[in-house]
Amino acid sequence: MKNTKELLGARIKELRKGRKLSQEELAELIGIEPRHMSRIEVGKSYPSLDRLERIAIALNVDLRDFFDFVHLEARPVNVNQINDMLKEMTDEDLKKITRILKVFVR
């Protein structure tokens, strides 16, 4: 399981790639060495709050977006949770989900 520093770094990397920026480009935008940007993204170094704010501005995201990394955590699929969500869906939603799942199963 990844620690918070690694999850934060992975989230920054994900957002950076979503903006089609290289590490070097982002590092230049926030005024640090590319080597330091790399250390942040692999979870070897925490960015300061000031630096985190500069990254957020450069990536055009809110600070809180950096901590939305639940999808990056390694955890087993919780079938009960999926079943609970399915029970709350309308028939129309269930039809859509069925079509989507068929694509993945093929």
Q: Please tell me the pTM assigned to this model.
A: 0.67
- Cα 23 from chain centre: 16
CA distance 5 to 10: 9
| Tens digit of each residue's pLDDT, the chain (106 residues) | 688 899 999 999 999 999 999 999 999 999 999 999 999 999 999 999 999 999 999 999 999 999 987 777 666 667 777 888 899 999 999 999 999 988 888 7
Contacts of 7 (CB under 8 A, 6+ apart): 43, 69, 72, 73
The dihedral formed by the CA atoms of 27, 31, 36 and 37, expressed in degrees to the nearest 10: -30
* Residue 60 per-residue DSSP state: T
